[in-house]
Amino acid sequence: MTKYRILLSGVFFAALGAVPLYAQPMGGPPMGGPPMGHMMRGDNPAMMLHMVLKQADLTADQQAQVHKIMDADRQNLRTLFTQLQAANKDLANKLFGPGSVQAADLTPQIQRIGQLRQQLMEQGVKTALAVRAVLTPQQLAKVSQLKDRIEKLQAEMQSILGGEE
């Protein structure tokens, strides 16, 4: 089950949470980008979903259903990430290549990256909704309480770290 949770976390994190990072020209956050605390906030649905599923006390049947959902989406997500990496590389090559370059010269690459990010977000939300549908009302209530606790802890951490955003 641990291997499954790692896979689940990785796919959701990649699909929903890390998309903006992968969409940067060099494949990572720009210099001067968001501080580490930003990655730990509750606005990252992928991280939240992983924590939720870990604490939701899924039955064996629910675990099997979630596993089936993830298996069905794995190849599509892998394909989209491969395409996004290629689009990022293309943008970086044009942006940092020899010769002059204007913003308009990069428009096709920027549009492609935007389209791929949108597709990844839509796929991730579709998957998350399918997983959510597996939960019982009691599990959803427990998850909601967990989400609230995490948000409070993150707000406290942000306050301690100086309120940087």
Residue 82: the pLDDT is 95
Q: What is the pLDDT along the chain (165 residues), one digit of tens a residue?
A: 444 444 444 444 333 333 333 333 333 333 333 333 333 433 455 566 777 778 888 999 999 999 999 888 888 889 999 999 999 999 999 999 999 999 999 999 999 999 999 999 998 889 889 989 999 999 999 988 988 998 899 899 999 998 655
Residue 46: the pLDDT is 59
List, in sequence order, the alpha helices (H) in the chain: 2-12, 19-22, 36-39, 45-55, 60-96, 107-132, 137-160
Are 56 and 142 contacting, i.e. CB atoms less than 8 angstroms apart? yes
Q: Given this structure, which CATH class describes domain 2-17+37-94+103-160?
A: mainly alpha
Residue 37 neighbours by CB under 8 Å, 6+ apart: 154, 157, 158, 161, 164
Residue 51: the pLDDT is 72
Please state, as a whole number, how many other Cβ atoms lie within 10 Å of the Cβ of residue 85: 13
Place of tokens 């020209």: 25
CA 32 to chain centre: 21
Residue ranges per structural domain of the chain: 2-17+37-94+103-160
Residue 94: the pLDDT is 93
